[in-house]
Structure 1
Amino acid sequence: MKYASLLVPGFSSAGQPVRARIESATRTGIPEFRISGIPPARARDMAERIQCAFQMSGLRPGHKNIVVHIEGNLDAYFLEELDLPVAACVLGALGYELHGTEEGSSYLGKLLLSGHIRPLPDLIRYLVAARMLGIESLLANGSEMDTRSLSAYYRLASPGKNGHGENSADPGRSMARGRIVLCLRDLLRFSTAPPPIQPEYSDFLKAKSHGRTDGEKAPDLVVDAVPERDAHSHGQILHSFLSLNSDGDSASLPYSRFVLRAAVAAAGARHSLLCLGPPGCGKTTLAGLIYALLPPMDESELKRIFLSSFYEIEGPGRIARPFRRPHHSATRVALVGGGTPVRAGEVTLANDGLLLLDELGEFRRDVLQALREPMDSGEVHISRGHHREALPARFWLVGTANGCPCGQLGSSRRCQCTAQMVRQYRVRMLGALQDRMSIELIMESENERCDLNSVETWYNSLIGIQEDRWRQEARKAEEGRNTHHTGRFNAELPVGRCQFAGLEAEKRFQMETEGWTNRKRNGIRRLARSMADMSGAAEIQMEHMLEALRYAGLTESIVTSPENGKAPWQSD
């Protein structure tokens, strides 16, 4: 009996990287090919594909009884990609010498009946996962899109700065080395086993079958020359946004200064934003502006985004963050994850990106309340009997909704709602979620505009100060002087780092927020820190605290105007 084993990278049903182990044993006996460890129907299909690929490639196992066992908590949709590693493991047990048998190497890909290997979808995702699992080299078939993805990754990760402000090392430390194999015969080295029998190919297959001779090493997956990474400029992104969403004035944005400072704070410091207003006032367009303003990614974020496979390549060398926009009919499982087997929800698919909940008032209440734990911890914990998953859920949250049930509150049209109806609408829509919304923005139909240069100045100041603070804390953590390393953005700062300058500002804050929850108060402190950073101030002054208070608790005063004749400005 001969035995061979192999470790391969894969993904669980929840999208998390997991390691699978493949074992193969051959013995003399009745010819049979049995695969265990996966559902019987999939095992039969895999065995048929591998046997056909062997025969078409001239590889004859002879009169052998072959047993294969696959162990690992793998997604059912991923099992087809195990054809190549199972075939390689069987060939190793049969005595063939293969490329990729050295320690730290593995295989991945689905075999076609002709013996060719199908290009692996999202190859770069598997390269990152392989490196995380300790695999340094992965033999698979790639596509042109994979080359573009690698080019973009190397452009963003290699010449720039990492999260600690240091020069990044070789991006290969973040992903495994990809080696291209086009067909099963490309795996073969010189073999001490009997030479394979040449298959009877048709003329078409002869012309396209094997591009390399036996023994020729599988080449690495290479990318084009990578240019130096330019400084991340959001000015160009803003102008692109304006060309699609403005009336031709590229020097200003169609929002007031009050609205745009809230948008910059939400995008640059990861503050959650709730935007209320009548239809057509620009709520959804503002969410698109916030997405265009999301900060540049560091190397760790790039890895997580590639693992999710929900990224887009926008031109040479630019990888966009995820932008998820679930419909208001989405269920709780669709939003936060769950099911059997466990699947990632929208909050996980939006990890390190933007989650836009448009028409927030139309979502079911239980769906919205399920966001409370992910917004606090940045994770979703799902338990299903013996199976448990902890899924990442660190995202930018933007919610938009009408200001009242009829939707006309804040517009020039007459609102048909009473103050009690508006209050019930708000409570049903938000509930306990309101404490977790750092910015509550009331938009009206207006004709104000704000200079684009001001927006860029606020944004660059906010991002620059946060990055400096992040680098200093990371350096202290590496030196052992700071055991409580905080997050990258102001929304993740400890409250102790967001104290006001002067006793007068603190007293005013306590008076203005009397009766509010500690969570809401802490959110206002962090928002005031962002306002100070946008102004270039080292300390949080009274003006920054008052500005943050303007964005907090605004929905407490949502009532219909006296012009509508339905209710006074004061609440009941």
Structure 2
Amino acid sequence: MSLCLVQSRALVGLEAAAVTVEVHLANGLPNFMLVGLADTEVKEARERVRSALLNSGLAFPHNKRITVNLAPADLPKDSGRFDLPIALGILAASGQIDAARLAGHEFAGELSLSGELRPVRGALATSLALHAGRITTRLVLPPASAEEAALVPGAHVVRARHLLDVVRQFLPEGSAAPEEGADGWTRLAASAPSFGADYPDLADVKGQAGARRALEIAAAGGHSVLMVGPPGSGKSMLAQRFAGLLPPMTVGEALESAAVASLAGRFSLQHWAQRPTCAPHHSASAVALVGGGSPPRPGEISLAHHGVLFLDELPEFPRTALEALREPLETGRITIARAARRSEFPARFQLVAAMNPCPCGWLGSGRTCRCTPEQVARYQGRLSGPLLDRIDLHVEVPALGPAELLDAPAGEATRPVQARCIAARERAMRRQGKGNHALQGGEIDVHGALAQHAGDFLRHAAARLGWSARSTHRVLKVARTIADLADSAVVEVVHVAEAVQYRRVLPALH
């Protein structure tokens, strides 16, 4: 048989589009041509496949004109994931394996020159896309990639270590099998690892009662936080412990988070069901934060999906990068549009940001600040009003004195704080079916449940402080969360008053 079709998948965003690898052998001037909008790393498969076949003791049709088409032709293909299906297509077209037995299987894997199979990125994303589309097929993947794909419930995954391990399964009737390798073809049961999530303990933080309370409110209601304080006051330490206050991940959340990490090649089984904390450097570009490239890749906001995005030294980030966060903070998704294709990535993260009050960092800390008022205003003015408007909690983190730092007892541990946050979230879910941060429009009026005096207080504060409609609604959402933490069905004046304190404007922007 001179023509063979082998099934595989290409990743475009989180979508796993079907790709048919068509291999045709014909008489003529010997050549190996690969077509179908293939990237450079895909075209290099010609040399890897040729060497892998020869070094595995298999025949390569040197005297044939080999044409490989990756269909559909308008779908971009990248990475070395098509090495294995191309090799199998050549073997089937040249009669060395039975092409009919390849039906019902999909293959992905990069080949080494010796025929060993190497992992490919996005295996979990591929398996999750097949599960979502209710597509029943058997995925044949290299080690590490197969373990990823097997995390999806109901997945049919086979791990193959070498090209010969795959070839042995599809030999024609009556053929002599190649030499066997140990544990080369293994069906993996769909199951999740039992690793427990491990986060730094909040008990390590001494003092900072105000900041700890703000993080508890943020975790209970899904709110974003901006911490302002001098260097060494504990902002980064608090942010690194924030993920431990969030509820344990559900299986669905863990799969979504892991699929994005797999797409970027960052997934590790040891981090299964652990909420990510992404902390990009302040020199990161807008593309690094929100994603981009061709084909589009996820950025830090998508890698922080169902986790925490920590932006330290917030005013030092490029203005374009910060402004790009505005839409994902509202929608929980990011859409990357290119001329040929449009990709959408999830980005439902909690923003925790930190900054110094001035360029030198010592404004209001008791130490001498060298900055002029104009420098302070210019530094704080790097954060636009619309971005600050979308951050629910603004909290000051003061410097601790030596006596307080050395003599204070350990703070409250993460576990009891997390329990209070989970209880508050459950109250919100029973009442409205979603977190307080996700309330929109009329839902805020229905579920806000303001007492009369609390409503009067909020209207007076909004008028005096000149808040926008968004700011007023965000204060109401925070007050609703504070009431949930207090197990109060009605939002009282005391809850609104505490929420108003967290809606502070940076001093230089008054």
Q: Which interval holds the TM-score relative to the shorter structure?
A: 0.7 to 0.9
1:549 paired residue among 493, 497, 500: 500
Distance 1:75 1:268, change over 3 A: farther
Contact 2:251 2:273 in 1 (8 A): no
Q: Take 2:282 and 2:472, find their aligned partners in 1: how far apart are those partners?
A: 30
| Residue correspondence of structure 1 range 58-457 to structure 2 within 5 A | 58-60=57-59, 64-71=64-71, 77-78=78-79, 80-95=80-95, 96-97=97-98, 101-103=102-104, 105-120=105-120, 123-132=123-132, 134=135, 136-143=137-144, 147=147, 171-173=152-154, 176-187=155-166, 188-189=168-169, 191-192=171-172, 195=175, 210-211=181-182, 218-222=185-189, 237=199, 239=201, 242=203, 246=204, 253-309=205-261, 310-314=266-270, 319-417=273-371, 421-446=375-400, 447=404, 452=411, 456-457=415-416
Q: Take 1:302 and 1:525, find their aligned partners in 2: how far apart are those partners?
A: 30
Task: Give the corresponding residue for 2:425.
Answer: 466
Task: Give the corresponding residue for 1:164.
Answer: none
Aligned length: 491
The residue type paired with residue 509 of structure 1 is: L
**How far did 1:20 drift?**
2.5
Contact 2:245 2:417 in 1 (8 A): no
Q: Take 1:226 and 1:40, find their aligned partners in 2: how far apart are those partners?
A: 35
The residue type paired with residue 230 of structure 2 is: P
Q: Take 1:534 and 1:180, find their aligned partners in 2: how far apart are those partners?
A: 48
Q: Take 2:191 and 2:388, find their aligned partners in 1: how far apart are those partners?
A: 49
Task: Give the corresponding residue for 1:503.
Answer: 452
Contact 1:36 1:68 in 2 (8 A): yes
Q: Take 1:211 and 1:314, find their aligned partners in 2: how far apart are those partners?
A: 26
The residue type paired with residue 219 of structure 1 is: T
The residue type paired with residue 181 of structure 2 is: H
Q: Take 2:371 and 2:450, find their aligned partners in 1: how far apart are those partners?
A: 43
Q: Take 1:42 and 1:534, find their aligned partners in 2: how far apart are those partners?
A: 53
Q: Take 1:540 and 1:454, find their aligned partners in 2: how far apart are those partners?
A: 28
Q: Take 1:254 and 1:42, find their aligned partners in 2: how far apart are those partners?
A: 52
Secondary structure of the 1:4 match is strand
Distance 1:197 1:303, change over 3 A: closer
TM-score with structure 1 length normalisation?
0.75
The residue type paired with residue 45 of structure 1 is: E
Contact 1:9 1:130 in 2 (8 A): no
Task: Give the corresponding residue for 1:562.
Answer: none
Contact 1:119 1:142 in 2 (8 A): yes
For structure 2, list consecutive stretches of 5 or more residues without a partner in the other structure: none
Q: Take 2:191 and 2:244, find their aligned partners in 1: how far apart are those partners?
A: 27
Secondary structure of the 2:382 match is helix
Distance 1:532 1:558, change over 3 A: farther
Q: Take 1:382 and 1:121, find their aligned partners in 2: how far apart are those partners?
A: 20
Contact 1:15 1:343 in 2 (8 A): no
Distance 1:450 1:364, change over 3 A: farther
Superposed CA RMSD in Å reads: 3.5
TM-score with structure 2 length normalisation?
0.84
Distance 1:56 1:457, change over 3 A: closer
Kindly provide the CA deviation profile for residues 463-484 of structure 1, in whole angstroms up to 9, marking residues without a partner as x: 23423553676xxxxxxxxxxx
Q: Take 1:427 and 1:186, find their aligned partners in 2: how far apart are those partners?
A: 62
**How far did 1:77 drift?**
4.8
Identity %: 29
Q: Take 2:438 and 2:409, find their aligned partners in 1: how far apart are those partners?
A: 29
Compare 344-353 and 51-60 and name the one that shifted more. Answer: 51-60
Kindly provide the CA deviation profile for residues 133-191 of structure 1, in whole angstroms up to 9, marking residues without a partner as x: 53542112214x965x689x5xxxxxxxxxxxxxxxxx524xx3221222223223464
The residue type paired with residue 466 of structure 1 is: R
Kindly provide the CA deviation profile for residues 215-253 of structure 1, in whole angstroms up to 9, marking residues without a partner as x: xx93212589966x98x8xxx8464x54xxx3xxxxxx4
Compare 373-382 and 394-403 and name the one that shifted more. Answer: 373-382
The residue type paired with residue 185 of structure 2 is: A
For structure 1, list consecutive stretches of 5 or more residues without a partner in the other structure: 154-170, 199-205, 247-252, 474-485, 560-570
Contact 1:410 1:443 in 2 (8 A): no
